[in-house]
Amino acid sequence: MAKGLCIVISGPSGVGKGTVIKKFKDDPELKLSYSVSMTTRKMREGEQEGVNYYFVTREDFEQAVEKGELLEYTEFVGNYYGTPLKGIEKIREEGRNVILEIEVDGCMQVKKKIPDALTIFIVPPSMEELERRIRGRATEPEELVQERLAKAQREMEMTSHYKYVICNDDAQLAADIIKVIIERHMQKEGLC
Ligand code: 5GP
């Protein structure tokens, strides 16, 4: 059986990656499994352990790195984020597609290890709109908002490293476009 796709979705913080992904991730035709990352950041309201992230201490995270348990990892706005290796290969061996929602440094690491990863970058309609969305979330102090905005600027300069760049002006439209991209790649790889 052909191995499932490794799909990486990036985009600046606040661009609405989660909202877009939610609209297609349970579509049975896409045979997707979401990779749950490990992070040292605090749980936000509404988030669930093992669903949004595995919330761990810095000590636990550093141990996972030492043991080689992560496909990639990075430090983002003072916290670690990483993709556990366990599970990803199993999902792909079963012919299912795995979806990683990670930032650009992580994507560059994944591309080195999995050169045929399907990489998609989501951009906001404008930087002004992105700032509005980040501030609208209002869960963080101004200093962190500024850090996220600065990181967003740097991330936007990395779009040329991605196979596809999709604008999230309308989340349903962005999700529909991504669905078509995944289906075409599944056809190409003989996965449907
Ligand atoms: P947030 O704190 O908003 O949940 O996530 C911050 C950033 O970290 C987002 O851009 C998100 O995509 C990214 N991220 C989440 N999990 C991972 C991961 O496992 N690895 C990397 N490199 N980035 C991640």
- Please indicate whether residue 137 or residue 79 has the higher confidence score (pLDDT): 79
26-35, 39-48, 58-67, 134-143 — which is least confidently predicted?
A: 134-143
Q: Is 95 left (phi over 0), alpha (psi -120 to 50) or beta?
A: left
Return the ligand 1 atom nearest residue 41 CA.
Answer: 2
pLDDT value, residue 87? 79
d(C-alpha 92, C-alpha 33), whole Å: 9
Q: Edge-to-edge, what's the strand order for the sheet holding 53-55?
A: 53-55, 37-39, 79-84, 70-76
d(C-alpha 192, C-alpha 27), whole Å: 14
Backbone φ and ψ for 140, nearest 5 degrees, come out as -130, 155
pLDDT at 96 over 80: yes
Task: Kindly report, residue by residue over 52-89, the tens digit of the pLDDT.
Answer: 999 999 999 999 999 999 999 999 989 999 999 987 98
d(C-alpha 100, C-alpha 97), whole Å: 10
Confidence of residue 1 (pLDDT cuts 50, 70, 90): confident
**Using CA of residue 38, residue 61, residue 15, residue 174, what is the dihedral sign?**
negative
**173: CA distance to ligand 1 center in Å?**
23
Give nearest CA residue, ligand 1 atom 3.
13
Pocket test for ligand 1, best of 8, 19, 20, 37 (most atoms within 8 A of CB): 37
pLDDT value, residue 21? 97
